[in-house]
Structure 1
Amino acid sequence: MSLNKRARSFGQWLALGSVVGAVCGVASAVFLYLLDQATHVRTSHEAIVYTLPLAGLGIGALYARWGTPIRGGNNLVIDTVHEGDKQLPVRMAPMVLLGTVLTHLFGGSAGREGTAVQMGASLADAVAHRFRVSPATRRELLAAGIAGGFGSVFGTPIAGTVFGLEVVCVGRMSYEALVPALVSAVVGDLVTRSLGIHHTVYPTPAALPLTPGVLGKWLLFGVAVAGVAVAFVELVHFLKKRLEKSVPSLPLRMALGGVLLVVLWKVVGTSDYLGLGVPTIERSFVDPTLPPEAFALKLLFTAITLSAGFLGGEVTPLFFVGAALGNVLARLLGLPLDLAAGVGLAALFGAAANTPLALSLMAVELLGAGVLPHVVIVTVTAYLLTGQRGIYPAQRIAQLKHGGPLLSRLVPLRDVESQPGATPGEQPPPEPPATHEGSR
Structure 2
Amino acid sequence: MSLRLKRAILRSRKKSFHFLNLVTLSEERTLMMLAVVVGLASGISAFIFKHMIDGVYHFCCSAEPSSSLSSGHWFRVFLPAIGGLLGGLVIYFFAKEAKGHGVPEAIYALRRRGGRGRPRVVLVKSVASAFTIGTGGSAGTEGPIIQIGAAVGSSIGQLFNVSPAYLKTLAAAGAAGGMAAVFNAPIAAVIFAMEVLLREFTTQAFSMVVFSSVIASVTSHILLGDNTFLPSPAFGIQHPAELGLYFILGIIAAPLASIFSKTLFFAEGFTDRFKKIPDPIKAMIGGLIVGVIGLFLPQILGAGYFEVTDILSPGGGATTWGMLLLFSLVIGKIICTSITLGSGGSGGILMPSLFIGAMMGSLYGQFAHTIFPNIAPAGAYALVGMGLIFSVVANAPVTAIVMMFEITQDYRIILPLMFSVTITMIMARQMGEVGIYARVLLARGVKLDGGEAHDPVMTMTASEVMVKNIEIVSQNMTVERLAQIIDESHHTGFPVINGQGELVGMVTYVEIHKAYQDRVDLQKTLIEKIMRSDLPLSDPEDVLVDVVRRMQESETDRIAVVEPDNPKRLVGLITRADIMSAYRASP
TM bucket, shorter chain: 0.7 to 0.9
Alignment of 1:73-152 (within 5 A): 73-85=102-114, 87-152=116-181
The offset of 1:69, in angstroms, is 4.1
Bigger relative contact order (CA 8 A; separation at least 6): 1
Secondary structure of 2:326's counterpart equals coil
CA gap 1:60/1:426 in 2 versus in 1, 3 angstroms: closer
Aligned to 2:414, which of 346, 362, 372?
372
Report how far residue 164 of structure 1 moved: 0.8
Letter in structure 1 aligned against 2:402: L
- Compared with structure 1, are the counterparts of its residues 225 and 86 closer, same or farther at alpha carbon in structure 2 (3 Å cutoff)? closer
- Structure 1 residues 380 and 174 mapped into 2: Cα distance closer, same or farther (>3 Å)? farther
Read off the aligned partner of 1:231 and give its amino acid letter. I
Q: Which amino acid aligns with 1:346?
A: G
Deviation at 1:283, TM superposition (A): 2.1
Q: Which position in structure 2 is the counterpart of 1:311? A: 346
C-alpha displacement of 1:13: 4.5
The structure that has the greater radius of gyration is: 2
Whichever residue aligns with residue 351 of structure 1, its letter is: V
Indicate which of 33, 46, 66 corresponds to 1:15. Answer: 33
Gaps of 5+ in 1: 1-6, 400-406, 412-424
Following TM superposition, by how much is the alpha carbon of 1:148 offset from its aligned partner in structure 2, in angstroms? 0.6
- Is 186-195 or 275-284 further displaced after alignment? 275-284
Report deviation, 1:289.
2.8
Could you say which residue in structure 1 is the equivalent of 2:243? 215
CA distance in 2, matches of 1:10, 1:87: 21
Change (3 A) 1:34 1:394: same
Instruction: Find 1:345's aligned residue among 386, 389, 399.
Output: 386
The letter of the residue matching 1:56 is G
1:24 matched to 2:36? The reply is no
Q: Distance in 1 between matches of 2:208 and 2:43?
A: 15
Out of 387, 390, 395, the residue aligned to residue 435 of structure 2 is 390
Q: Is the 8 A contact 1:244 1:253 kept in 2?
A: no
Partner of 2:326: 292
Q: Following the alignment from structure 2 to structure 1, what is the Cα–Cα distance between the partners of residues 142 and 162?
A: 27
Pick closer, same or farther for the CA change 1:427–1:345 going to 2, 3 Å. Answer: same
Local SS of the residue matching 1:133: coil
Residue pairs, 1:16-415, within 5 angstroms: 16-44=34-62, 45=64, 46=69, 47=75, 49-71=77-99, 73-85=102-114, 87-168=116-197, 176-197=204-225, 198=227, 200-208=229-237, 211=240, 213-246=241-274, 248-266=277-295, 268=296, 270-285=297-312, 286=316, 287-290=318-321, 291-293=325-327, 294-334=329-369, 335-336=375-376, 337-367=378-408, 368-386=410-428, 387-392=432-437, 393-394=440-441, 399=449, 407=450, 409-410=451-452
SS at match of 2:441: coil
* Alpha-carbon distance change, 151 to 373 in structure 1, aligned in 2, over 3 angstroms: same
The separation in 2 between residues aligned to 1:173 and 1:379, in whole angstroms, is 23
- After TM superposition, give the deviation of residue 430 of structure 1 in Å: 5.5
For the 8 Å contact 2:129–2:144, the answer to whether it is kept is yes
The amino acid of 2:152's aligned partner reads: L
Q: Is the 8 A contact 1:351 1:382 kept in 2?
A: yes
Given that 1:69 and 1:435 are in contact with CA atoms closer than 8 Å, whether structure 2 keeps it comes out as no
What's the % identity of the aligned pairs?
A: 23
1:253–1:309 CA contact under 8 A, matched in 2:
yes
Amino acid at match of 2:255: G
Q: Write the distance in 1 (CA, Å) between the matches of 2:29 and 2:238.
A: 44
For 2:346 and 2:222, the matched residues in 1 are separated by 27
CA shift, 1:141, in A, is 1.2
Preserved contact between residue 109 and residue 115 of structure 2 (Cα < 8 Å): yes
Report the Cα distance in structure 2 between the residues aligned to 1:297 and 1:97, rounded to whole angstroms. 26
How far is the alpha carbon of 1:160 from its aligned partner?
A: 0.6
> 1:210 and 1:133, CA in 2 relative to 1: closer, same or farther beyond 3 A?
farther
Distance (whole Å) between structure 2 residues aligned to residue 23 and residue 29 of structure 1: 10
Secondary structure, in 3 states, of the residue corresponding to 1:276? coil
| Paired letter, 1:189 | S
Deviation at 1:168, TM superposition (A): 2.5
Structure 1 residues 174 and 228, CA gap change in structure 2 (3 angstroms): farther
Q: Is contact 1:17–1:184 with CA below 8 Å preserved after alignment?
A: yes
Quote the Cα distance in structure 2 between the aligned partners of 1:8 and 1:373: 44
Q: CA RMSD in A?
A: 2.7
CA distance in 2, matches of 1:222, 1:209: 18
TM-fit CA distance, 1:428: 7.8
Shift in Å at residue 317 of structure 1? 1.5
Distance 2:28 2:202 in 1: 17
Do 1:76 and 1:435's aligned partners in 2 also have CA atoms closer than 8 Å? Answer: no
Residues 382-430 of structure 1 show CA distances to partners (whole Å, capped at 9, x for unaligned) of 234333421213276565xxxxxxx4x335xxxxxxxxxxxxx799846
Cα deviations by residue, 1:276-334 (Å, 9 ceiling, x for unpaired): 22221022223313222222212222111111111111111111111111111112334
| 1:389 partner letter | V
Asked whether the 8 Å contact 2:157–2:170 carries over to 1, the reply is yes
Whole-angstrom distance in 2 between the partners of 1:379 and 1:188: 28
- Larger mean CA deviation between 77-86 and 42-51 belongs to 42-51
Q: Which moved more, 1:47-56 or 1:88-97?
A: 47-56
SS in 2 for 1:373: helix
Partner of 2:526: none
Residue 272 of structure 1 deviates from its aligned partner by 1.3
Q: Measure the CA separation in 1 of the matches of 2:270 and 2:284.
A: 15
Q: CA deviation at 1:162?
A: 0.5
Contact 2:337 2:352 in 1 (8 A): yes
Q: 1:86 to 1:194 in 2, by over 3 A?
A: closer
- Structure 1 runs of 4+ aligned residues shifted over 6 Å read 425-428
Q: Distance in 1 between matches of 2:202 and 2:360?
A: 32
- What letter corresponds to residue 16 of structure 1 in structure 2? L
Task: Work out the CA distance in 2 between the residues paired with 1:358 and 1:81.
Answer: 19
Q: Tell me, in whole angstroms, the C-alpha distance in 2 between the residues paired with 1:78 and 1:210.
A: 42
